[in-house]
Amino acid sequence: MDLNPPPFSTFQHDGLSIAYFDEGDAAGEPVLLIHGFASSANVNWVFPGWLKTLGDAGYRVIALDNRGHGKSSKPRDPAVYHPPAMASDAIALLDHLGIATANVMGYSMGARITAFLTLANPHRVRSIIFGGLGIGMVEGVGDWDPIADALLAPSLDDVSHERGRMFRAFADQTKSDRQALAACISTSRDLLTPEDMARIDVPALIGVGTKDDIAGSPEALAALMPHATALDIPGRDHMLAVGDRVFKKAALEFLEAHGRG
């Protein structure tokens, strides 16, 4: 498999068109991938090599463009971007494909969606991998209002907030609908409680870059969960950890141990 975008299909859920790909070994164990904020299935999973890595290892690799992102519908109502609603798109995709259980991997916002998905549908999830989000899932990840402001600013030149500039530049690079993203960022950061995390009893791997100033500690999050392992991704920040070879190697080992029936 290569790093070129695969063909996408669409299905309808919750009044929205959701785009996805379904690649790899059709008879392999399914791995459902849920991307981060302002990203897409291609940007998060294809270009950094995850589709190739998982596909070459014999998995069935499925990824969706979250609502508001990529090729999926882009509503501009903040009310539709709470994590349980976004998680329902992912479960609806498994239903659409006739998949009873899957391993689920999410990066950043996608990790949060994965947690909400698992809490609501524990019987559908074999194992989970969180990337780019540690204890921030419980304690919060700082003030993101400047990011919404940055997304809505006339141009990148009008943005002085450092993290705001990073996400505005990323949104411009991915040619995203910035109004949809501003709506998404305002409501997609619902927190989970320590009690919520303790109820997630499937095997879990939590990978965070050692230079990530957004995610929070993976060890602190793993300590709240009954079957979680923390992974420090050396020398990587929030944007670069996703494609790191240490992360991929650990994910393959984790899935080999926990993700095959």
Q: Please, which residues have CB within 8 angstroms of residue 154's CB and are 6 or more apart in sequence?
A: none
Q: What is the pLDDT of residue 231?
A: 98
Q: What are phi and psi of 247, to 5 degrees?
A: -65, -45
Give yes or no for residue 261 having a pLDDT over 90: no
pLDDT for the residue numbered 143: 81
Domain 9-140+188-258 has CATH 3.40.50.1820: yes
- 47-72 mean pLDDT: 98
Sequence-distant (6+) residues with CB within 8 A of 166 are 239
Dist. CA 18–CA 180, nearest whole Å = 15
The answer on pLDDT for 9 being more than 80 is yes
Domains of the chain by residue range: 9-140+188-258
The DSSP result for 183-230, as a single string, is: HHHHHTT----HHHHHT--S-EEEEEETT-SSS--HHHHHTTSTTEEE
Q: Cα separation of 178 and 162, whole Å?
A: 17
Confidence of residue 144 (pLDDT cuts 50, 70, 90): confident
Given a cut of 80, whether residue 66 has pLDDT beyond it is yes
137-150 mean pLDDT: 91
3 confidence band (pLDDT: 50, 70, 90): confident
If you average pLDDT over residues 187-205, what whole number do you get?
97
pTM over 0.95: yes
Nearest by Cα to 111 from 49, 43, 33: 33
| 211-258: pLDDT as tens digits | 999 999 999 999 999 999 999 999 999 999 999 999 999 999 999 999
